[in-house]
Amino acid sequence: MITAAESNTDAVSAEQRLRYLLRLADTSLVLGQRLSEWVGHAPTLEEDLALGNITLDLIGQARLLLAYAAQVEGRGRDEDQLAFLRDAAEFCNVSLAEQPNGDFGQTIVRQVLLDAWQVELYQSLVGSTDAQLASIAAKAMKECRYHWRFSCGWLVRLGDGTEESHARVQAALDGLWRFTGELLTPDALDAHMASHGIAPPLAAIRSRWEARIDAALEQATLRRPPPAYFPWHGKRGVHTEHLGHLLAEMQHLQRVHPGATW
């Protein structure tokens, strides 16, 4: 947990605070958009509804964070403008969130890796010296725990299921693992925010994330892939080709009809 004694939040500039908030907000927004693509296409009605509810949770988190980001920015933009009128290079989501859904097993693997990270991250952010961020994190934590139970449950069912389901989720895990480095490797902004108690040190998040993931993989009879180099830095605006296509669909209406309401 972060304590007030560790921080002087006045030493953090508005630009630094804005960039950190956008990292959190954009990750939830982009992941929510990805999951929304399953609505009407999930394997069963129950999973269709569950993925829809998780989508709504993630977009709700993004709205709170983007509204706070707009307040910090102080340029008169609101949450909708930040969501729909920024280009890909201005988005700060982690690259894992923008990866395509693939089959249901690949979606579950992506979700497990991000759910474990968000549970540990938001649990720490509840103790942030930024009171507004701490309040948002406290609300998000309740939702993230449910997301983890859902995705982890499915990982175990698929990994410890048939020969084909096991092979598919192992292949998905092998393919997506290289994106996890970004979740756990601090850059200058992560380190600065941690030094002032606004965000947790990612080293602490790493150990808890690895323990959570390893326990889930053991239950699912899956093999943890070896570490892999990652050239993507979505947190700094360097994305894979997939984000541009996702934003083109997500932002289409607002771009064609600016300021439209319904």
DSSP state of 238: B
Taking the complete model, does pTM exceed 0.85, yes or no?
yes
Q: Would the CA dihedral through 127, 130, 132, 137 be positive or negative?
A: negative
Tell me what pLDDT residue 238 has.
Answer: 93
Torsion of CA 39, 43, 46, 50, to 10 degrees: -50
Only one residue has tokens 């949770």, namely 57
* Phi, then psi, of 251 in degrees rounded to 5: -100, 0
| β-bridge partners, 238 | 233
* Phi, then psi, of 99 in degrees rounded to 5: -65, 145
Sequence spans of domains, the chain: 12-256
Residues 6+ apart with CB under 8 A from 162: none
How far is the C-alpha of 136 from the C-alpha of 180, rounded, in Å?
Answer: 24
Q: Judge contact between 122 and 144, C-beta under 8 A.
A: yes
- Amino acid of residue 173: L
- Count of C-beta atoms within a 10 Å radius of residue 158: 22
> Among 165, 183, 168, 143, which Cα is nearest to 35's?
143
* Phi, then psi, of 238 in degrees rounded to 5: -105, 105
> Is 12-256 in CATH node 1.20.1260.10?
yes
Task: Using the CB atoms, write b or e for 98-114: b if 16+ within 10 Å.
Answer: bbebbebbbbbbbbbbb
From first to last of its 262 residues, what are the pLDDT tens digits of the chain?
Answer: 444 434 455 689 999 999 999 999 999 999 999 999 999 999 899 999 999 999 999 999 999 999 999 999 999 999 999 999 999 999 999 999 999 999 999 999 999 999 999 999 999 999 999 999 999 999 999 999 999 999 999 999 999 999 999 999 999 999 999 999 999 999 999 999 999 999 999 999 999 999 999 999 999 999 999 988 877 789 999 999 999 999 999 999 888 888 777 6
How far is the C-alpha of 219 from the C-alpha of 127, rounded, in Å?
Answer: 31
Only one residue has tokens 């701490």, namely 134
Phi-psi region of 3 (alpha: psi -120 to 50; beta: other; left: phi over 0): beta
